[in-house]
Amino acid sequence: MAHLGLIGLGNMGGGIAKRLLDAGHSVTGYNRTRSKAQSLLDAGMQWAATPRAVAEAADITFSMVANSAALRAVFNGHDGILAGLGPGKIYVDMSTISPTVSRELAERVAAKGAQMLDAPISGNVITLAQGTSSIMVGGDQAAYEKIKPVLLEIGSKVNYVGENGQALLMKIAINLSLPIQFLGFCEGVLLAEKGGIPRETAIKVWLSSALVSPATGHHVALLQQQGEIMFDVNMMQKDLLLALEMGRELDVPLQGVALSDQVLTAARALGLAGEDYAVMFEVLAQMSGLKR
């Protein structure tokens, strides 16, 4: 049993905490809104009043927050994560944030004698619950080897990528494909529908084709169910903007990312920012003169 900490108990962070509790670990958690963690507290998680208290109590502290600004908010200050770290401790951030920001924080962690790893997760709430998500890790390799058994209790595949920030670069490189793939699905189904094939038939045939991927399939299911949210427009657009920044920095043209970003901007303009990014279908349907 390891003494673990987890800061950020939203859908993904809460799912990670549940897997670690189910694996028999001692988990101390913190979330800005305590009520969202009640089911985890009922399952045996211990509560800490601040991110600092989590880091002080744990040998390995994990964080999973929305973006770079949210990470800085729980990392800095008297009650932040950094204040609770010290020699021998390992801090693992699983958020999808800027690699540059992550490297900056890793340097500050190292100055306190601790180690920071970036370990974003590729998957969603479904794959996380199933234990089939994959994790990529950047940072000190010895620290990675030390915590790898714990990571394998979160996801089924763990890959070491390189130095601090490289796992985040890899995560961004993966995530940019998600809306691009879904955009292709939307355009294909809407073309078929506009040509006289019923939407339900077009979706059924598309899902039986060689094109379907698990990620796209999950979001097609959300499109059909309506109302459920796995990865909302704002979060997806945050990842695409990170990709576009990296593309500009590294001189890699990302035309598909730019187009997908524009469709998501249209979704925001229509007041759909809080919907799952599967709402891209509705945006393009309206542009095509089609309705649900």
Domain-ending residue, one of 162, 188, 210 = 162
Does any domain span residue 263? yes
Nearest to 273 by CA among 215, 229, 224, 243: 229
Which residue, of 137, 162, 187, is where some domain finishes?
Answer: 162
Number of independent structural domains in the chain = 2
Note down the domain range covering 115. Answer: 3-162
Do residues 180 and 148 share a domain? no
pLDDT at 227: 64
**The residue type at 232:** D
Residue 227: inside a domain: yes
User: pLDDT for 45-94, tens place per residue?
Assistant: 999 999 999 999 999 999 999 999 999 999 999 999 999 999 999 999 99
Token digits for 130? 């199933």
Identify any residues that bridge with 284 across adjacent strands, giving them in sequence order.
none
pLDDT for the residue 148 = 98
| 59: in domain | yes
Question: How high is the mean pLDDT in each 10-residue block of the chain (292 residues)?
Answer: 93 96 97 94 97 98 96 98 98 97 98 98 93 97 98 98 98 96 96 96 94 86 77 95 97 98 97 94 95 68
202 and 82, same domain (yes or no): no
Q: What is the pLDDT of residue 101?
A: 97
Residues 136 and 182 in one domain: no
Identify the pLDDT of residue 229.
Answer: 86
Whether residues 17 and 149 share a domain: the answer is yes
Of 63, 73, 292, 45, nearest in space to 190 by CA: 292
Question: 96 CB contacts (<8 Å, ≥6 apart)?
Answer: 67, 120, 168, 171, 172, 175, 238, 239, 242
| 229: CATH | 1.10.1040.10
